């Protein structure tokens, strides 16, 4: 489960970085057209969800 979180964080960082280069990662690579309000924060949202999954995984496996 942690690997999914790390993958989402990497995707979020790539989305955030590529958006400054003029590439719409969601629209061009995945084929999903996001509304402008969500698109501006999509990289941060993906990274935050990944971070949450990593923390949730740590809580579930802690003994």
* Domain around 9: 2-61
The pTM (predicted TM-score) of the whole model is 0.85
The count of domains in the chain is 1
pLDDT the model gives residue 7: 97
Per-residue burial over 12-38, b if 16 or more Cβ lie within 10 Å, else e, is bebbbeebeeeebbbeeeeeeebeeee
Cα-Cα-Cα-Cα dihedral sign, residues 23, 26, 28, 34: negative
Task: Please state the separation of Cα 56 from the chain's center in Å.
Answer: 16
- pLDDT tens-digit map of 17-32: 988 888 888 888 888 9
């Amino acid at each position: 489960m942690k690997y999914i979180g790390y993958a989402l964080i990497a995707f979020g960082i790539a989305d955030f970085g590529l958006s400054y280069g003029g590439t719409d990662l969601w629209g061009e690579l995945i084929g999903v057209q996001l509304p402008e309000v969500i698109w501006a924060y999509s990289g941060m949202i993906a990274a935050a969800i990944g971070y949450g999954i990593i923390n949730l995984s740590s809580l579930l496996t802690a003994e």
